[in-house]
Structure 1
């Protein structure tokens, strides 16, 4: 039965993958594990979007190594979203990636009626450029402050202090993936449960408001993967 006054306009929820493609990501199958994890998460993302018809989930992806560039620059509806594999080479110019991301969050595409963006950063190392400057640019924006920022560390060499600064939320910690199974679990949580909370929370989401999204409990690392020879260990 049609709603009085017509259908409710969908509110946009912009989702950003922010992926480390430095040379160290080629070690121990990390980059391929990341590709596989994102690809496996896509059907679950589509399911979450279908369960909340009042929100329009739009996806982009940004990669950084020697500099930063968009892997998927134009916002793609999750229904049309597919993943092309990333390749690893070069250094870790995270600061440039944050600056590039800030440009999108400050664009006319990000309407005041939108839901808080979700940004998922995945990295296995330390920034090799001016990370602080890029982060300052991101956090100077209303949507940069209000965005739900999730960080996933791959292996033992990721800079946890940098990831904590990116998250900018004392109630959240970086998730540390020690193997491919944990990485897949964290990627799925960030792209489904976090998206669900961001799209169905009580906040109206307007950029001028200051209330935060109530996030689900962070997943715990698996403890039974050490004896599984099929799991890539980072």
Structure 2
């Protein structure tokens, strides 16, 4: 069976509210998750895992524009800058989920959204654009809410499934756990060769959120 691509796209909130420890821990968590993504990809030889990163702040920018095979992928740290234009980010991704540039034969793409705040643009129009694409509808979607100020309602609508909830990351340890899960469980789900239109999402995380003790990491 020929390899079929799995396009994994990080959508990362890089607004000013992410500055300091949050952005540092996000960079660390994704960098540490890449080897685990390689392991999952090697366990699914019929799938070719391709990674990309889109950041959004005052504008949406491709941090890794071209799809990179996971074995060749090297994480490059993201930086903070400006507002939280999620709608623009969703519109940019929606253009990449048309056919072309997406091939007709591919496995479900993975969209992993990470945010700690509230969108500052028309995010609903961006979400409509994403949902209007065939690959956007089929995508495996995961969302990570960093800290108490993250708009969980927006992340919930992005998920598009009332049975799913955003993953809470209220400390560095929780963020690392959420990134690890999103990087591996979502890829496993997307790598399944057969899927119906109603089977396009992943299950709830198989771990319990970490309980913070007095000597645990600071809460965001």
**Structures share fold, TM-score greater than 0.5:** yes
- Distance in 1 (alpha carbons) for counterparts of 2:90 and 2:63: 14
Q: Does 1:194 align with 2:186?
A: yes
Q: Does 1:63 align with 2:55?
A: yes
Q: Does 1:11 align with 2:39?
A: no
Tell me the residue number matched to 1:25.
18
Structure 2, unaligned runs of 5 or more:
none
* Aligned counterpart for 2:80 among listed residues 70, 83, 88: 88
Q: Kindly provide the CA deviation profile for residues 93-115 of structure 1, in whole angstroms up to 9, marking residues without a partner as x.
A: 00000000011111413122211
* Aligned counterpart for 2:209 among listed residues 203, 206, 221: 221
- Distance in 1 (alpha carbons) for counterparts of 2:203 and 2:145: 19
Task: Give 3-state SS (helix, strand or coil) of 1:109's partner.
Answer: coil
Task: Give 3-state SS (helix, strand or coil) of 1:200's partner.
Answer: coil
2:15, 2:81 within 8 Å by CA — same for their partners in 1?
Answer: yes
Give runs of aligned pairs for residues 1-234 of structure 1, distance below 5 A: 8-27=1-20, 29-200=21-192, 202-203=194-195, 210-213=197-200, 215-218=202-205, 219-223=207-211, 225-229=212-216, 231-234=217-220
What TM-score, normalized by structure 2, do the two folds share? 0.95
- Distance in 2 (alpha carbons) for counterparts of 1:169 and 1:211: 10
- Distance in 1 (alpha carbons) for counterparts of 2:193 and 2:155: 25
Q: Between Structure 1 and Structure 2, whose CA radius of gyration is higher? A: 1
- Distance in 2 (alpha carbons) for counterparts of 1:220 and 1:99: 33
Give the 3 Å change call, closer, same or farther, for CA 32–107 of structure 1 in structure 2.
Answer: farther
Backbone CA RMSD of aligned residues: 1.4
Paired residues in the alignment total 219
